[in-house]
Structure 1
Amino acid sequence: MNLLLLHLDDALELQPDFRSAAEKSGAREMNEKVLGQTIRLWSRRGPLDSLKRRLACRAPTPPWHPRLCFMGSGDFHHVSALLIQEAADAIAKPLTVVHIDNHPDWVHFRDGIHCGSWVGSALTHWNVHKVITLGVCSDDLRSPERKGANLGLLATGRLEVFPYEHAPSVVRQHYGEGASYRQRGMHLNWVQMLDFSEEMFIERLLSRIATDAVYITIDKDVLCAEDAATNWDQGRLRLATVLRLIREVGRRHQVAGADVIGDYSRPRYRGSLVTQALKRGEILIDQPWVGPDPKRASAINASTNLSLMHVLMEVMG
């Protein structure tokens, strides 16, 4: 297994205990904080292609081993699309993405990738069979069409979204029904995780994975405040539930890659003044105005990262 600490911000550097444990487990490190300021929140293709080439240069020599990557803030979730493509290319067989997040990351975005749009980008790869999103509680589901959601992915069955708990979504068009929702009039009624016991939901999840290989991507904003401190509004899952989900998926499937994001870090941007202004304006709308205490955030996130690292290393061999 290939363990990578990808420094796109300073979040992991502020977790010395986690960083030390990762180094003892053989982690490699990449310092891409300058590029991180350019691609944070969203990016055009050029900077992302540059990061993709740098990741390829730092990949271990063949034979290929699954990569587990920690990479700081959830503002970088679109980098997961690069890592998923890397894993999909390497295994050259159908792959299911298990996406654990408080946000569905399903919006349309032109001329690049947004941290909230990467799901559609990942699904363009020829052997990414499906994305299954778990744990959403956010308002992104309230009026998804108005917020730019690509609900066509749901209608085709390429995307399944199982919220932790959420009221029906108001829509104007017809999307039929799928494994994770039923349309009744102008509402999408979701199959929620809370509709099941933990054991029953795990079995339902496993029944929806039709491929041998899976990729797991985790945004810690899916967790309650006791288990994570992030740049985004947070969900209600507990860490113990996420760890159990990972173990059960790993028992029955080949985990071909994984990444973890969701550490709080102070936003810093590079680019034109217009680009920086657009990004700062966007986070004023979408993110909490008051961040967590930095020391407390680092302590909580380091502990959670250690737990996730151990379990993911276990299932990835």
Structure 2
Amino acid sequence: MKPEIVVMNFTHVYEQERFLSNSHFRWIDCTDLNGTDCYCDAEAADALRRRMKPYSPHGLHFIDSGNYHYVSKFWTDKIIEPFSMVVFDHHPDMQPSLFDEMLSCGSWVKTMLDTNKFLRKVLIVGAADRLIRAVPDEYRDRVKFYGESSLEHAEAWRKFSAEHVDEPVYISVDKDVLNTDSAVTNWDQGSLSLVSLESLLSIILRNENAIGIDVCGECTPSLDLFDEQRSISIDGKANHELLSLYCRLASAR
């Protein structure tokens, strides 16, 4: 059975990425929603949940730019068994929200740890070391970091996984974990190459019980048409590679 591919379209960027021109993909149009950019207000959250209701957390979900990474929370709210979360992100996304009770792209991991009764542990891969040091001590027993400075050998991940992963996993990828040759995002980026990301994802998908995966980190519109087309081309290539990897490994399971 082919895995379900869901595309959440907030900014129209996916309409320009050729790899998504497949009639079998499921599109969720979010372009008409207000209150979604970086912060998600209550009305927008209700609307997103309604539009996502027909779809399962299983499969691959493309969720637009990193401004909408909080959508990962809505996908994982559908999981009703103990699980761990593997997050590839240059930022831990564990800041307190600036607005009470409002979910944001910088606070969603913290919110999940505070509210999701099925979430056992969060493994954050590729975060900047300075941001890792800023995470409050109260979360240290449930948040484990595979930091940017440790991204060297596959064997290191296998050891890390064996020590920390006991449940099914949901994987979330923000392409800002990648270097600027591999992706173009609207946030500061890490040093991981696309080849290294694919290698680590392959290890996880082959060795863990993966529930599903989402991908964000698209570029934002630019006043320079040439730069915008270049960014879309680079991101489209990265997405195509991640899509092909996931479909190949998911079909082999």
The answer to whether 1:135 aligns with 2:90 is: no
Q: CA deviation at 1:315?
A: 3.4
Q: Relative to structure 1, is the Cα distance of residues 254 and 291 closer, same or farther in structure 2, using a 3 angstrom cutoff?
A: farther
Q: Could you say which residue in structure 1 is the equivalent of 2:241?
A: 307
Following the alignment from structure 2 to structure 1, what is the Cα–Cα distance between the partners of residues 131 and 226?
Answer: 22
Q: Could you say which residue in structure 2 is the equivalent of 1:4?
A: 6
Q: CA deviation at 1:68?
A: 1.1
Q: Is the 8 A contact 1:14 1:298 kept in 2?
A: yes
Decide which moves more: 245-254 or 222-231. 245-254
Following the alignment from structure 1 to structure 2, what is the Cα–Cα distance between the partners of residues 80 and 6?
Answer: 11
- Name the SS of the counterpart of 1:227 in structure 2: coil
The answer to whether 1:153 aligns with 2:139 is: yes
Q: Relative to structure 1, is the Cα distance of residues 47 and 150 closer, same or farther in structure 2, using a 3 angstrom cutoff?
A: farther
Q: Relative to structure 1, is the Cα distance of residues 41 and 252 closer, same or farther in structure 2, using a 3 angstrom cutoff?
A: same
Q: Relative to structure 1, is the Cα distance of residues 141 and 66 closer, same or farther in structure 2, using a 3 angstrom cutoff?
A: closer
Q: Relative to structure 1, is the Cα distance of residues 99 and 115 closer, same or farther in structure 2, using a 3 angstrom cutoff?
A: same
- Name the SS of the counterpart of 1:259 in structure 2: strand
Question: Which residue of 48, 51, 71 maps to 2:48?
Answer: 51
Question: Which residue of 298, 302, 305 maps to 2:232?
Answer: 298
Amino acid at match of 2:43: G
Question: Which residue of 130, 146, 156 maps to 1:162?
Answer: 146
1:167-226 CA-to-partner distances (Å, cap 9, x unmatched) read: xxxxxxxxxxxxxxxxxxxxxxxxxx15xx412322133223433411000000000011
Q: Could you say which residue in structure 2 is the equivalent of 1:19?
A: 20
Q: Which runs of 4+ in 1 moved over 6 A?
A: none
Q: Could you say which residue in structure 2 is the equivalent of 1:199?
A: 154
1:47-87 CA-to-partner distances (Å, cap 9, x unmatched) read: 1122012100x32xxxx67131102110001111101112x
Q: Which runs of 5+ in 1 are unaligned?
A: 166-192, 268-289
- Name the SS of the counterpart of 2:19 in structure 1: helix
- Name the SS of the counterpart of 1:294 in structure 2: helix
Q: CA deviation at 1:4?
A: 0.5
TM-score, structure 1 length as denominator?
A: 0.72
The answer to whether 1:103 aligns with 2:95 is: no
Q: Could you say which residue in structure 1 is the equivalent of 2:104?
A: 114
- Name the SS of the counterpart of 2:86 in structure 1: strand
Q: CA deviation at 1:138?
A: 7.0
Decide which moves more: 44-53 or 220-229. 44-53
Q: Is the 8 A contact 2:86 2:169 kept in 1?
A: yes
Q: Is the 8 A contact 2:83 2:169 kept in 1?
A: yes
Q: Relative to structure 1, is the Cα distance of residues 118 and 65 closer, same or farther in structure 2, using a 3 angstrom cutoff?
A: closer
Q: CA deviation at 1:228?
A: 0.2
Q: Could you say which residue in structure 1 is the equivalent of 2:74?
A: 82
- Name the SS of the counterpart of 2:64 in structure 1: coil
Following the alignment from structure 1 to structure 2, what is the Cα–Cα distance between the partners of residues 291 and 69?
Answer: 27
Q: CA deviation at 1:292?
A: 9.0
- Name the SS of the counterpart of 2:74 in structure 1: helix
Q: Relative to structure 1, is the Cα distance of residues 292 and 108 closer, same or farther in structure 2, using a 3 angstrom cutoff?
A: farther
Following the alignment from structure 2 to structure 1, what is the Cα–Cα distance between the partners of residues 32 and 130?
Answer: 32
Q: CA deviation at 1:153?
A: 1.2
Following the alignment from structure 1 to structure 2, what is the Cα–Cα distance between the partners of residues 79 and 292?
Answer: 30
The answer to whether 1:247 aligns with 2:202 is: yes
Q: Is the 8 A contact 1:255 1:315 kept in 2?
A: no
Following the alignment from structure 1 to structure 2, what is the Cα–Cα distance between the partners of residues 43 and 315?
Answer: 33
| Identity fraction in percent | 26
- Name the SS of the counterpart of 2:148 in structure 1: coil
Following the alignment from structure 1 to structure 2, what is the Cα–Cα distance between the partners of residues 239 and 264?
Answer: 16
- Name the SS of the counterpart of 2:28 in structure 1: strand
Q: Relative to structure 1, is the Cα distance of residues 50 and 208 closer, same or farther in structure 2, using a 3 angstrom cutoff?
A: farther
Q: CA deviation at 1:163?
A: 1.7
Following the alignment from structure 2 to structure 1, what is the Cα–Cα distance between the partners of residues 109 and 225?
Answer: 26
The answer to whether 1:224 aligns with 2:179 is: yes
Amino acid at match of 1:113: L
